[in-house]
Structure 1
Amino acid sequence: MTDPTTATSPAADAAPGTGLLRPHAEQQFAAELAALAAADDRPRPPGWVLSPAAVVTYLLGGTLPGGAVVTPKYVGPRRLVEVAVATLATDRALLLLGVPGTAKTWVGEHLAAAVCGRSTLVVQGTSGTAEEAVRYGWNYARLLSEGPSAAALVPSPVMVAMQRAQVVRVEELTRIPSDVQDALITILSEKTLPVPELGTEVQAARGFNLIATANDRDRGVNELSSALRRRFNTVVLPLPASVEEEVDIVTRRVAQLGAALELPPVPAAAEEIRRVVTVFRELRAGATEDGRTALKVPSGTLSTAEAISVVTSGLALAAHFGDGVLHASDVAAGIVGAVVRDPVADRAVWVEYLEAVARERPGWADFYRACRAVTG
């Protein structure tokens, strides 16, 4: 599931021989996409390289009739993925909504790769995103010398996707200023992008669509207008439902990242991964797993993506500066850094957790000592 809270194949993601730190989805899983296309005998919407059913298989994993294995890219409810894919098969845009770390960007990238074979048409939303990033801009040297012309126009990723019948991604939509957001209304409702300077317009080819992401906690940044929200079908991506599911996601993703970064393999990491996941889940929920102890909740999100980061950093410490085995001391600093965002309020929450839960929990003495040592 950031972002990267998904289950993936270490061998596939490492992309041996590419020399790339982080290949695009269509590069990482080119063999799987080709195998799916070869075995796919179901109807494909205009512009799609796979059928909707094959796209779902690509996201969730499975075994093809010829025996080829498709690794899961996302761990979560199947129905949510089906709804997302079905949305893209219509003329409705897709909004992936959820708290930080629920794999919105990751799912959007893999959906684009499976639907149109390209995931790189992206508008990254920030408070400084200008309208040109959504519509089009100009080569000002040519504009000044020649005046407005097709040659002087610089298309946005949205315009390129409309012309080429592909999927464009808009990341962090609610971080984009409201007036820039509204530039999407005509595009999504009329499927056209007017270019008044040239007295023309770009009409979307069949197969064009848009995937946007937004965080639940960012709703107050630049709230979507009701007119724009009506142009989307919204799919809310949840946090992992169980400890086992989240441990599986973290384990697989950490293995993939370790292979991509060429970290030496570190055995016996399962115990520390489960402890990191347990800590994050309990602090997120405000209660221990057994429900017997109420806990204060820190200000951070403590997402699955952050758990992956903590464990990956711990693996690097264990591999390069330790004995090659992941210990509590390797993940302690990362956990403290993830939990204690506010040095006063969050530190009090964390110390309370250590004393009330970690100190008393059987088998956690080493974890308690390691965390106390870096907490101070």
Structure 2
Amino acid sequence: MTETVLRPHAEQAHAAELAALAEHDDRQRPPSWRLSPWAVLNYLLGTTLPDGTVITPKYIGPRRLIEVAIATLATDRALLLLGVPGTAKTWVSEHLAAAISGDSTLLVQGTAGTAEEAIRYGWNYARLIAEGPSEQALVPSPVLRAMREGRLARVEELTRIPADVQDSLITILSEKTLPIPELESEAQARPGFNVIATANNRDKGVNELSSALRRRFNTVVLPLPDTAEAEVEIVTRRVSDLGASLALPADSAGLAEIRRVVTVFRELRAGRTEDGRIAVKSPSGTLSTAEAISVLTGGVALAAHFGDGVLRPHDVAAGILGAVVKDPSADRVVWMEYLETVVRERDGWSDFYRACRELSG
């Protein structure tokens, strides 16, 4: 019996789609790739195969950016996905690795405490003490495993990693080699190896990449959705997927609230209403698409467990308040001004205004 998990890896959740694409894929594949670049693109952006199989879109955004990302991974240059929080950098990284390598789990999660061993290798100290340095005592990092297996390694939040640890990637990316001096040997990357890194461009100045390391990457900047329609589609798909994984009841009447949350986030991000008539102040937070998904997923849970199952304004009001008011003093003023000058006067938003006003005090 297959074990149920809360969040399957991309290659597990979309195994049927990947298999169908492979079956219809007669294009040239780079060494060790599971699919051709053409098939990888269709996996990311969605298509319908000749036999009627529907490949659902994983990314909704500029086609050319995904083409550049895929083409980069077919060369000897690594890929850096850059953008503000919530622009699907991690999501795209995972799905690229799933489609190209069939394995999205070779992951280094960057933090301020990430050590060099996470990128290079570590040791099983019990065996090291008992036997001395040996291949059996060596603990390979996800990057080293990717080199040996000819797969993609993922490095999340690269600019959160200390600069000296970041630079351990330079030799790996330029020479495709990782020296292991303790064993008087080296690991040489097999065909198919490459690195996908992500970075938040709001982290500029935290641990900026050295010029030497930046030259090893081709940078693709993922933007926020251009239109409200695109953002609504992204949010609707992800809320539906998350709701299914959490066994929340499907909500067929939630589109109005999804549009409302997306509108609020887009207007506060842009500093003006959608019609351009009213200027509004922006809060300190990013109000990303990912945060909109979180607000709505929480709202669906409230509606399912403490309401009538239909997503309503009072189910999303608390989540929006928490997303907008990160700084209790400055952001609260911004939010109250937006409520009174925009939301209060908007036709059909009276229930939403009352719900937000009641929580805001």
TM range (shorter): over 0.9
The one-letter code matched in structure 1 to 2:39 is: A
Deviations along 1:214-263, one digit per CA (max 9) or x if unpaired, are 00101211000000000000000000010011011111111111111111
2:285 is aligned with 1:261: no
Question: Per chain length, whose mean CA-contact separation is higher, i.e. which structure has more relative contact order (CA < 8 Å, sep 6+)?
Answer: 1
Structure 1 match to 2:316: 331
Structure 1 CA distance, aligned partners of 2:160 and 2:168? Answer: 14
| 4+ residue runs over 2 A deviation | none
CA positional deviation for 1:276: 0.3
Runs of 5+ consecutive residues of structure 2 not aligned to the other structure = none
Structure 2 CA distance, aligned partners of 1:266 and 1:93? Answer: 41
Structure 2 CA distance, aligned partners of 1:192 and 1:222? Answer: 24
Structure 2 CA distance, aligned partners of 1:127 and 1:143? Answer: 27
Alignment of 1:15-164 (within 5 A): 18-164=3-149
Structure 2 CA distance, aligned partners of 1:299 and 1:17? Answer: 44
Structure 1 CA distance, aligned partners of 2:182 and 2:302? Answer: 57
SS, match of residue 212 in structure 1: strand
SS, match of residue 202 in structure 1: strand
Structure 2 match to 1:372: 357
SS, match of residue 289 in structure 1: coil
SS, match of residue 267 in structure 1: coil
Structure 2 CA distance, aligned partners of 1:39 and 1:164? Answer: 25
SS, match of residue 141 in structure 1: helix
Structure 2 match to 1:223: 208
Structure 1 CA distance, aligned partners of 2:71 and 2:251? Answer: 41
Deviations along 1:102-124, one digit per CA (max 9) or x if unpaired, are 00000000000000100000000
2:325 is aligned with 1:354: no
The aligned length equals: 361
CA positional deviation for 1:18: 4.4
Structure 2 match to 1:245: 230
RMSD: 0.9
SS, match of residue 33 in structure 1: helix
Structure 2 match to 1:285: 270
Q: Once the two structures are aligned, what percentage of the paired residues are identical?
A: 75
Deviations along 1:111-170, one digit per CA (max 9) or x if unpaired, are 000001000000000000000000000111111111111111110000000000000000
Structure 1 CA distance, aligned partners of 2:336 and 2:226? Answer: 27
The one-letter code matched in structure 2 to 1:301 is: T
SS, match of residue 264 in structure 1: coil
The one-letter code matched in structure 1 to 2:62 is: P
The answer on whether the counterparts of 1:267 and 1:324 sit within 8 Å (CA) in structure 2 is no
SS, match of residue 327 in structure 2: coil
CA positional deviation for 1:17: 6.0
Structure 2 CA distance, aligned partners of 1:278 and 1:67? Answer: 35
The answer on whether the counterparts of 1:265 and 1:319 sit within 8 Å (CA) in structure 2 is no
Normalised by the length of structure 1, the TM-score is 0.95
The one-letter code matched in structure 1 to 2:6 is: L
The one-letter code matched in structure 1 to 2:152 is: V
Structure 2 CA distance, aligned partners of 1:262 and 1:108? Answer: 26
Structure 2 CA distance, aligned partners of 1:150 and 1:250? Answer: 47
Structure 2 CA distance, aligned partners of 1:87 and 1:112? Answer: 13
SS, match of residue 314 in structure 1: helix
SS, match of residue 82 in structure 2: strand
Structure 2 match to 1:202: 187
Structure 1 CA distance, aligned partners of 2:43 and 2:356? Answer: 40
CA positional deviation for 1:197: 0.8
The one-letter code matched in structure 1 to 2:285 is: G
